[in-house]
Amino acid sequence: MRRPTRISRRELLRMMGLTAAGAVLAGCAAPAAQPTQPSQPAGAATAAPAGAATAAPASAATPAPAAKLPDVMQVWIQWGDNPAQLQELFNRFATANGIKVQVNAPVEEEKIIAALSGNEPPDVLVLSGPDNVGTWQREKLVAPLDDIIASSNIDLNDFFPAPLGLCKYGGKFYSLPWGTDTYALFWNKDLFEEAKLDPEKPPLTIEELTSFAEKLTIVEGGTVKQVGFIPDFSWSHNDLYLKMFGGSPLNADRTKVTLNTPEMIECLKWQQQFYTKYGADNVLKFTSALGDYMSPDQGFYAGKIAMMVDGEWQPGPNFIQKLKPELNYGVTPFPYPAAHPERKNTNMVGGTVVVIPAGAKDKAASGKLLAWMMSPQIVADEMSFNFNLPTSKKAAQDSRFHENKKFEVFLNLMSDPNASTWPVTAINAELNTELGAVEEQVLHAGADPAPLLKAAEEKLQPELDKTLGAS
């Protein structure tokens, strides 16, 4: 099955059909000590204790006084790592406001679309990612949030720029980020030492990564026994590589599809070599024998793959700490091209976003709940529990995010000026499908990327033009 072009931990669990396993995993998360309040600037109001509504300064996220809230509010969440934990979190809002909040998680996309199109949508909807928001905005299924943000006193300056950048479409906000993900390079220090590479010095440049990967690959009698690096393990990271090579799938104003470019071709050919050098069939046979992603026999865990690209959740209590605690590894930003040191720390950010359905009955009430979700304390509590990156700058000061030094690599990347996002358009689903099909043929079948990219670009441009109202 073709791997998706981008993925978050939420989407990973949903895609693999592991929502039940995810509930177990999230429930096994190392219990945090009593929540440590995010640092507040001098003169700021003191945050409320755990279990109460967050009392943040108005500039942070405290909604202005509003009309009486409805008796019951519905929150639908597309992912469902731990529905009981999520319900408990929202009970804090319910207790503070004298209402009932019902959390429904996980909710399948088909049910979400039906509710958005019908008369009974939830008051707030939490999505695994922003890919559908552009399409739903065009179909007037989700509400613009600019007025709601202003009336609810949501402080946009408290968001990290990269995840917030996922949420603006056509000059307006139609979603807000609630926790996010990014990726870095993991390396196995023991395998480095066996290959006579310094285990404390990961590759700094793409050229070094390519050289190291060859030294770390072992082939015996035509059979691949160990691989230094596989670019699409465990799924595609083409968005990260493309950005590192200086390309983008769309032009700056998102009016032109730009797939058939020298940057995209170079990006795909760079990835292709890791298959063609040893025979694509041999590499695919090797990967097919590896354990599942959430298994001690996963390729990187088992010492079969020396370097991999993966997310901030991996150093956490439910992945490497749980599945392979003895693993001797490091984490570093993905290497940059030697000719472009200005691209150092380039990374792609993407993850959970929150929308308010256009048909929500009480937008002011939905806005108040949205503001509570975005408050630093709630972001800190929820994202530290799930080992995800906080989207609030104040939340990121919470000590729980700084206990694991490997996690801090991702925290620093998300806040780096070179943090970026995949462009959000009304044709994201089509773009991801076409680009994923090209990638599959180039990497696994040795195809020439140029004609495939040209055909994909010619197919997608008319679709984009339609959404823009072009002739």
CA distances in angstroms from 396 to 179, 209, 340, 382, listed in the order given: 11, 31, 30, 12
pLDDT band at residue 52 under the 50/70/90 scheme? very low
pLDDT at position 12: 53
pLDDT band at residue 11 under the 50/70/90 scheme? low
pLDDT band at residue 429 under the 50/70/90 scheme? confident
pLDDT at position 48: 33
Contact 387, 317 (CB under 8 A): yes
Model-level pTM? 0.86
- Residue 419 neighbours by CB under 8 Å, 6+ apart: 160, 161, 162, 182, 345, 346, 347, 348, 349, 413
For the record, the structure tokens of 82 come out as: 């731990």
Contact 275, 283 (CB under 8 A): yes
Q: Is the pLDDT of residue 347 over 50?
A: yes
pLDDT at position 21: 35
Residue ranges of alpha helices (H) inside 199-292 are: 206-215, 238-244, 262-276, 280-288
pLDDT band at residue 22 under the 50/70/90 scheme? very low
| Overall average pLDDT of the 341-349 stretch | 98
Q: E strand or H helix at 401, and its extent?
A: none
Q: Is the pLDDT of residue 13 over 70?
A: no
* Tens-place pLDDT, residues 80-97: 778 999 999 999 999 999
Give the single-character DSSP code of 219: E
Give the single-character DSSP code of 106: S
302, β-bridge pairs: none
| 225: three-class secondary structure by DSSP | strand
* Tens-place pLDDT, residues 375-384: 999 999 999 9
* Tens-place pLDDT, residues 441-470: 999 999 999 999 999 999 999 999 999 884
- Domains annotated on the chain, with CATH: 9-30+45-181+350-420 (3.40.190.10), 183-347 (3.40.190.10)
- 74 C-beta neighbours (distance < 10 Å), count: 21
| 55: three-class secondary structure by DSSP | coil
More confident residue, 125 or 67: 125
